[in-house]
Amino acid sequence: MEKDVLAENRKLAVENLRKLRANGIRSVDVMGSIGSGKTALIVRMAKDLIYQGKRVAAIAGDVTGEDDYSIFRRAGIPAINLNTGKECHLDAHLVDHALNDMNLESFDVLFIENVGNLVCPADFPLGTDHRMVVISPTEGDDMVNKHPMIFLEAELAVLNKFDLLAHLDVDVERLKKDYSRIRKGAVLHMTSAKTGQGIPELLKALHLSE
């Protein structure tokens, strides 16, 4: 049964990606734990892209409530709110419904903020060009080692809130080494949604900016 659910999700994810690409939309599934700064990072990237003339939209995934959705709207980002109820992740079926409610000709880039979790989202691709996982130094320097699967499933990983490192006893080199070991030489991106540090480099890595 579990294999059937995962297989059906991956099949629908392929259709979601086909639909987005047919409309010329670049898309990113933003995963990560609660408090890693996913929402702030998306807003910062969106503002940079809007400044470059790109049209950006977002899907806010949460178990309940409209907190992140409201943040996107206040930032001027067209958004859809998705509540999963008891589920700890978005899935391709929910995203498919959201896409049906969106004018796909009205934006160029779509950020999908997944439910805050470093376990469940790994097995459920949504049908995006990229999957990105976000962590922060406040979570400790063992997060990559403790949750290897989500780092294997995501093409990019980001250590956000980089500006806080000076105030925390966190071994950032361990985080880098653990990620490089798990992803075989991949580089952990360093960003600060607050200061803008690392945002241009991240946008280039996501092929969203020149």
> Is-contact 135 161, C-beta < 8 A?
no
What is the dihedral sign for C-alpha 107, 136, 92, 186?
positive
What top-level class would CATH report for the domain 2-200?
A: alpha beta
Q: What is the pLDDT of residue 4?
A: 87
18-31 pLDDT tens trace: 999 999 999 999 99
65-112 pLDDT tens trace: 999 999 999 999 999 999 999 899 999 999 999 999 999 999 999 999
Would you place residue 64 in the very low, low, confident or very high pLDDT band (cuts 50, 70, 90)? very high
Cα–Cα nearest to 32, from 122, 164, 128: 122
Other beta carbons within 10 angstroms of residue 105's beta carbon come to 9
The pLDDT of residue 3 is above 90: no
Give the span between the Cα atoms of 90 and 121, in whole angstroms: 7
Dihedral pair phi/psi, residue 151, rounded to 5°: -75, -25
Amino acid at 78: P
